[in-house]
Amino acid sequence: MISACATTEPALNDEIDDTIETERIEEKRPDWYDHTIASASDTTAFHGYSHATATEHADAVRISENMAMANLRFEIDKFAEQVRRGLEEDSAADRYSSGRFIITLRNSVQELSLDDAELTTEVHDQNGGVYAFTRASLFRDVVISKLSGLIDDSGYNAALNEHN
C-alpha cells in the first residue's frame, strides 16, 4: 500500500497570489479587451482579440498578435459559414451543402490575405512579466471584396454583398 500526503497551504497561497496578479493585469488591460471574447464583428469590421504573457517584450507581442490574427480569421470564417448556411436554407440547389463547396469556402478563408488588418497592441511590464493585449481588425467591405475575389460563385458573392 502506498499513500502520500501533502499540505494544501502552499497551493492556497499560490491561488491567492494568482488572484492578486490577475487583478493587477485586469487593471492594466485596455478598455476594448475582454478575456471572454476571442473574436467579434460589427457593422463595420471583424475583430480578433488576444492576450499573451512572456518574459521578453518581443515574444509577448509576437504571440499576442499571432493569436489575434488567428481569432480574426476565425471570426471571418464564422461569417462566411453564416452566409453559406443562409443560402443552403433558402436555395433549392444542393450546391451550398456540397462538401466540395464547403471545402472551397474553408480554403478560401484560409487563403484570405489579412495583410490589411489593423493591429492595436498595448504592452505592460509587471513583476518580471510582459503582458501584451492585441486587437486585430479588418473592415467588413475589405473582407467581402477579398472573399468575393476568391470564390467563383455568383450566388454566394451576391449573398456576401448583401451583408455589406
DSSP assignments along 133-150, one per residue: EEEEEEEHHHHHHHHHHH
Q: Is 114 helix (H, G, I), strand (E, B) or coil?
A: coil
Assigned CATH topology for domain 33-162: Thiol Ester Dehydrase; Chain A (3.10.129)
Cell 460589427 maps to which residue?
42
Higher pLDDT, 1 or 61: 61
- Lowest average pLDDT, out of 2-6, 99-103, 105-109, goes to 2-6
- Nearest residue to 71 via CA among 115, 132, 134: 134
What pLDDT, on a 0 to 100 scale, did the predictor assign at position 50?
98
- Nearest residue to 109 via CA among 149, 73, 153, 84: 73
Taking only the tens place, the pLDDT of each residue in 49-98 is: 999 999 999 999 999 999 999 999 999 999 999 999 999 988 776 889 99
Judged against a pLDDT cut of 90, whether residue 163 lies above it is answered with no
